[in-house]
Structure 1
């Protein structure tokens, strides 16, 4: 007896969600702390960002923040004095994870502390369209293709120490496709369905 259509649909949805999350990469912005001493344009240019990827901003809360802003605010470094003009979203935990959700879009980030944006603490991230991104990632040298993972997890709200680094040799956290195939089979198995029908 084949698995029921609702069960097949659940298994397919689970598999597609897991595969989507498996393709996301995590990048520590600037390969280290979010500060005025990093060239963020150079850093951004060496990566091929895809929708679903995550940017991690690490900084000391009392010294920096992260604002996602419009292009005009990014270029002028002016949030209008009150910190609201052109601001899409603000972050101030010291360990902020920002997911890039839109393909074929540019995300703009600045630090709003006095003089920091004009001093270079601003980042433009271009997210490629899905088809173009696949071709671009294949052409990147392996050293550039490996997204960076954070040096370690910190509890929410904890202030990172200045100079927190990352291991640039660490590969992205992705699970092999075979893992998801077996996970789907396990879902079917534990649902009481007959697995023999899948292989006939």
Structure 2
């Protein structure tokens, strides 16, 4: 018997992607076409991207070999997962960057020592241009990007996607 939550999850994911794509959120694929693998310079990769609240960071890798842990700076510096605040192992992980802060990610099964770690600074969304602020009243609907972030947070809570 097929689970009834699977079609709902696919529908919710499709709606999330539509909201995020229509709201100009960016999906930053770590390592681009080389993915999450040892021996790559992820500091250089991160320095060539600008991250904003509501963007996604995606990790693509062999799920039988690697994983992703969100850690603090100490965990990042020492390649340890102690006190990790998140972990993923699907091989195609999408992580919502929902707060303006520095995020730290490492591979938790040894890959960190071979360079599989990345730190990204997430910036608050820039304010809209003044001309567009004058055109809207305070009762206007929130911008699509905000709706995308809220929907992603709801999905994360309901389906454990984060």
1:48 Cα deviation (Å)?
Answer: 0.7
1:128 Cα deviation (Å)?
Answer: 1.4
Aligned pairs for 1:182-193 within 5 A: none
1:102 Cα deviation (Å)?
Answer: 0.5
SS in 1 for 2:40: coil
1:85-130 deviation line (CA, Å, top 9, x unaligned): 1211110000000010002x0110000112x112110000100132
TM-score (norm 2): 0.62
Moved segments of 4+, more than 2 Å: 18-21, 129-132
Alignment gaps of 5+ in structure 1: 1-17, 80-84, 135-179, 181-200
The CA distance in 1 between the partners of 2:75 and 2:62, in whole Å, is 23
The corresponding residue for 2:123 is: 128
Aligned pairs for 1:16-165 within 5 A: 22-32=23-33, 33-79=35-81, 85-103=82-100, 105-114=101-110, 116-131=111-126
SS in 2 for 1:75: helix
After superposition, the CA RMSD in angstroms is 2.2
Number of residue-to-residue matches in the alignment? 110
Alignment gaps of 5+ in structure 2: 1-18, 130-143, 145-162
Contact 1:50–1:127 (Cα < 8 Å) also in 2? yes
